[in-house]
Structure 1
Amino acid sequence: MLNDESLIRQLSLGSSEAFTAIYGQYWRQVYDFSKLYLRDKDYAEEIVQEVFIKVWESREFIKENDNFKGLLFIITRNLIFNKHRKKVNEDFYKMTILRAMEESYDIEGEIDAKDLSRYIDLLINELPPQRRLIFNLSRKEFKSYRKIAEQLNLSEKTVERQISEAIKFIRQNLLFIIYLYTVV
């Protein structure tokens, strides 16, 4: 049997056999994690399918030395909170985040800047298309709100609101990464 790094390397090259092996190895962990937040087992099963669809769709960006397990749970968490918000046990989520924030630790020691940058890029790619475009124009091309508004024929207030929502989404998900590293 191949180790995780070999499987991920083969997956990134498009191997359906590697994908099947990875699915077999991780589906139960994704399912159990989903059940922490979802009360309905059918929704949890649906999340598992969607997580692995996302893994397959982004396979060429996954590197063998990445924290694959962490990536799986980030995708899972995002799908749960984005698509099934009403089914989520939000109180449990809030308690886990508060507990993670209360514990003192050095996240830089656990996630190097390169990995963090990759996770942020993954999060940016999950933004709705217009919000992602506005965010990238602001943060990567360093355009002012006014310039973005003119370029996209929007009001400055709309641009400001879109960037605010993007930052809020990224912050929430970064808190989740911190949570993962305190329990994994």
Structure 2
Amino acid sequence: MSEQPAGSEKALLMLSSTGDESAFTLLFHLYKNKLYAYVLRLTESEMLAEDIVQDVFMKLWNEHASLAGIDNFGSYLFRMSKNHAINHFRRMSHETLLISELFQADPSHNATEDLVALNETEKLLSAIIDKLPAQQKTIYQLSRQEGRSHEEIAELLKISPNTVKNHMVQAMSTIRTQLRRHSDTFLFLALAAFFGK
């Protein structure tokens, strides 16, 4: 899509701030490709880049009333996405470090316990995935377990790529929430590392 005049973009922000979905969708299509390319350079991961772009726009929509106060939407988007990427890597580094420290601090820790913990992790994750709505479950498995792109899944299931993305966002949100709810501190850290692969 071609660049929008600044006045037009400001009008879209004003409309979006009132809850106008059409205006917000136009903003999304105006920036999604540039933002995805930028985040992909930062993360070097297509799936992570897609997730971050989705998370950023979902956060913006959930807080759409604040959009009217943004002067330079492009700069705001890129800064917000960069912060999301940084926070993701900080979180993953912190979780990895904590797991490593827990293993080192436990003199009775051994390979058998590793296998038990991994089996418990896989069981819990599988149970959560099994309880997802059918469409979400199918899309999650095609994406995360078979490594298919959103476009491939859309073609396979005869739905739009946006529908695939929406289902993935909902599935990921449900899984993260359930992991936190059903696990103790140590297991959650192990799950976070396992789930974040």
TM range (shorter): 0.3 to 0.5
Normalised by the size of structure 2, how large is the TM-score? 0.41
Normalised by the size of structure 1, how large is the TM-score? 0.43
Bigger radius of gyration: 2
